[in-house]
Structure 1
Amino acid sequence: MRDVQLILVVDDTPANLAVTSEALTDAGFEVAIAKDGERALKQAERNLPDLILLDVMMPGIDGFETCRRLKASPITQEIPIIFMTALSDATDKVSGFNLGAVDYITKPFQEAELLARVKTHLKLRHLSLTLEQQVTERTSELTAALQQVQQSQIQLLQSEKMATLGQLVAGVAHEINNPVNFIHGNLGHIGGYIQTLLEFIQLYQKHYPHPVPEIQAKAEDEDLEFLQEDLLKILASIKIGSDRIREIVRTLRNFSRTDEAESKTVDIHEGIDSTLTILQHRLKATPERPAIEVIKDYSNLPLVECYPGALNQVFMNILVNAIDALEDSFNKQQKTFEKFTIAIRTSVIDEQLVKIAIADNGSGIPEQVKQSIFNPFFTTKPVNQGTGMGLSISYQIITDKHKGKLECFSTSGAGAEFVIQIPIRQKVSLTF
């Protein structure tokens, strides 16, 4: 805003211009002049005045037409206009007000009246601009506050969902763990008992190679030799299945960590693997698409001080997005076969940071979308299929909670890679 207010005086009479300009200049205003409507329009757009004094009766376009054009232009439409006229007809004044003028000064006018009206409307204009600015600022503040509340609500909902999922997974793991431990614990005894019985049968066959006909017939009908061989194979298979269930239970328990109040030193790979276990059903082949292959390239990472429950949530969000992207890519390309992969690589940077990169070979993210993916409520998914908060919350967890960095690298048509960097010890933070 200029220090001295500028008044544009438009009048075709030089004497009127001189008198008006002198009065305004003496009162401390800066004055610009125009002798007709066309010049006034150009002058106003070139150097916006704070107020215009506009003569009604002028050659060429008169004051009314000049006012109409000023109010029609987005550049000059907000400038207050005071008509100067020798006309006193009420109809003319109404016409002027309807065109957007704020006041009339009747010629010949008194200098005191002229200055009073000019100052009054400049003050009203200033108050109007100030009020508009305050309303705009307040609206921006309220909008920001509303977005913050919405973001907090979504974050709370997301946290509650993750906590509920963690409790559910922990409960299921606990319920499975008891019978599985019972089965696993008794497999050793069963194996010993079966081995004893088989040895007993073999000992019997050694000392009684020619049993009575009934036993001989039963042994041949049941294929006793096959049963002895297959029984040990079945027992070994049961042992493998039991071990697999116990491993699944262990990874479920690892994923379900909800103790986010304090950081813990954990194995990052366990968190990734437990998340993949939860998502195993989405990685398998379906009638609509082939299986998604997970390629692990794990380095020898140290234990990392972090918030494991929150970090698992980040892994979940990024991996779910990768799976969704691959499915969307397959549907759009309408290919009968495509090898879809998710590559997970881990490494250590400068003995201070761990890096986790999760990349898919889908269709990639367009540049205009990539610029907004970490913004709250931004989503490219259909209605009711995403809140637009998953990556925003992930970004907050990594940058705020872990003092780390989360970046996305992608080229449309060439897949996408999300790279996480977090300190091995929380006292270290990244510089952005």
Structure 2
Amino acid sequence: MRKQMEEKLKSAQSQVIHQEKLAAIGQIAAGVAHEINNPLAFIKSNFDTLEKYFYKYKEVIEVYQRFKGNLREEEQLKLENINLIIEEIESIERKNNISFINEDLEELFRDSNEGIDRVNEIIKELRMFSRRGQTDIFEDYDLNEGIKNTLVVARNILKYQVQVEEYLEEIPIIHAIGGEINQVLLNLLLNATYAIKEKQPEIGLIKIRTFAKDDDVYCELEDNGIGIEEKNISSIFDPFFTTKPVGEGTGLGLSIAYDIITNKHHGAITVESTKGVGTKFMIKLPIHQAFN
């Protein structure tokens, strides 16, 4: 009976954690869709402009072709006829503003290429982020790369309210379950953004720093949000503990982060916070796991 109750409890916990993950994925997916939509909309606008330019050039080229046809039909065109054709060409070039189009085309192609590169970058980072989440196997993991991937995925959520400063030192590759570390980073970023939003400064600030010491690597994530009351600091890693209003969160984000860092990766996660000033989380991860 007790064993059945334990299994039911584990199953319920697993379902709640899965729902938490899905909620985060849904939020990020909406942000990524928006991030991709911006350069795509710009490329579409440039394409519409290029289409208009094409028809303007087509009109000019038709005059050139007619002139070429006249040259083939007559061995010698009269000078006055040549002058009339040249005047017609110049008139159509002015009407279609060909000199401006010549200048604008370079910028259109350059901007469109930048937009395409931006979409490619987002897709590449998203694929790397999601690929890391498809395995529970410890493997080589670059914490700095994980931070950058997570920031790209969360960019749309951050960019309207938060400035992110990165101080990423050269650190060794570690053994970790990359997708789970990325999930921790994402949870901390979302929490920091929420805290900043609650404080409502003109511009929020998140500082991310990495460094290595002895046999561990560290990630320090600090925000200038609303902070945590001292009486709540000892409870923030407890399952279902949350100071957010009903419907704003399950309180599982930091509990999951604690489990991933301490139990699965044999590291440590600590927090310092001052109400009204901000919060700083410190993650410590061993470079090599004990079983490696």
TM range (shorter): 0.7 to 0.9
Distance of aligned partners of 1:161 and 1:282 in 2 relative to their CA distance in 1, 3 Å threshold: closer
Q: Is the 8 A contact 1:254 1:270 kept in 2?
A: no
Determine helix, strand or coil for the equivalent of 2:125.
helix
Aligned match of 1:312: 182
| Alignment of 1:338 onto 2:202 | yes
1:259 to 122, 125, 134: 134
Distance of aligned partners of 1:428 and 1:145 in 2 relative to their CA distance in 1, 3 Å threshold: closer
2:17 to 131, 155, 175: 155
Q: Is the 8 A contact 2:266 2:285 kept in 1?
A: yes
Aligned match of 1:46: none
Q: Is the 8 A contact 1:373 1:379 kept in 2?
A: yes
Determine helix, strand or coil for the equivalent of 1:274.
helix
| Alignment of 1:387 onto 2:247 | no
Distance of aligned partners of 1:283 and 1:261 in 2 relative to their CA distance in 1, 3 Å threshold: closer
Identity of aligned residues (%): 36
Distance of aligned partners of 1:214 and 1:275 in 2 relative to their CA distance in 1, 3 Å threshold: same
Q: In angstroms, what is the RMSD of aligned CA positions?
A: 3.6
Aligned match of 2:211: 347
The structure showing larger relative contact order (alpha-carbon pairs under 8 Å, at least 6 residues apart) is 2
Aligned match of 2:101: 227
Q: Is the 8 A contact 1:403 1:428 kept in 2?
A: no
Residue segments in structure 2 that go unaligned for 5+ positions in a row: 44-49, 65-81
| Alignment of 1:240 onto 2:103 | no
Distance of aligned partners of 1:305 and 1:242 in 2 relative to their CA distance in 1, 3 Å threshold: same
| Alignment of 1:294 onto 2:164 | yes
Determine helix, strand or coil for the equivalent of 1:212.
helix
- TM-score, structure 1 length as denominator? 0.51
Distance of aligned partners of 1:143 and 1:356 in 2 relative to their CA distance in 1, 3 Å threshold: same
Q: State the 1:226 CA deviation.
A: 2.0
Distance of aligned partners of 1:156 and 1:237 in 2 relative to their CA distance in 1, 3 Å threshold: closer
Q: Name the amino acid aligned to 2:105.
A: L
Distance of aligned partners of 1:142 and 1:256 in 2 relative to their CA distance in 1, 3 Å threshold: closer
Q: Name the amino acid aligned to 2:205.
A: T
Separation (CA, whole Å) in 2 of partners of 1:281 and 1:339:
15
Distance of aligned partners of 1:413 and 1:142 in 2 relative to their CA distance in 1, 3 Å threshold: farther
Determine helix, strand or coil for the equivalent of 1:379.
coil
Determine helix, strand or coil for the equivalent of 1:243.
helix
Separation (CA, whole Å) in 1 of partners of 2:156 and 2:21:
23
Distance of aligned partners of 1:215 and 1:424 in 2 relative to their CA distance in 1, 3 Å threshold: same
Aligned match of 1:417: 280
Q: Is the 8 A contact 2:122 2:153 kept in 1?
A: no
Aligned match of 2:173: 303
Separation (CA, whole Å) in 2 of partners of 1:427 and 1:214:
82
The size of the alignment, in residue pairs, is 247
Q: Is the 8 A contact 1:260 1:310 kept in 2?
A: no
Aligned match of 1:14: none
Aligned match of 2:75: none
| Alignment of 1:274 onto 2:149 | yes
Aligned match of 2:269: 406
Aligned match of 2:194: 324
Determine helix, strand or coil for the equivalent of 2:205.
strand
List per-residue Cα deviations over 1:150-193 (Å, max 9, x = no partner): 5444234335666x769x79xx8xxx8xxx9xx9xxxxxx9xxx
- TM-score, structure 2 length as denominator? 0.73
Separation (CA, whole Å) in 1 of partners of 2:210 and 2:126:
21
Q: Name the amino acid aligned to 1:262.
A: I
Determine helix, strand or coil for the equivalent of 2:276.
coil
Distance of aligned partners of 1:368 and 1:355 in 2 relative to their CA distance in 1, 3 Å threshold: same
Distance of aligned partners of 1:235 and 1:152 in 2 relative to their CA distance in 1, 3 Å threshold: closer
Separation (CA, whole Å) in 2 of partners of 1:428 and 1:415:
37
Aligned match of 2:72: none
Separation (CA, whole Å) in 2 of partners of 1:328 and 1:260:
35
Q: State the 1:344 CA deviation.
A: 0.7
Separation (CA, whole Å) in 2 of partners of 1:144 and 1:238:
57
Quick check: which has more Rg, 1 or 2?
Answer: 1
Determine helix, strand or coil for the equivalent of 2:210.
strand
Q: State the 1:147 CA deviation.
A: 6.9
Separation (CA, whole Å) in 1 of partners of 2:100 and 2:21:
56
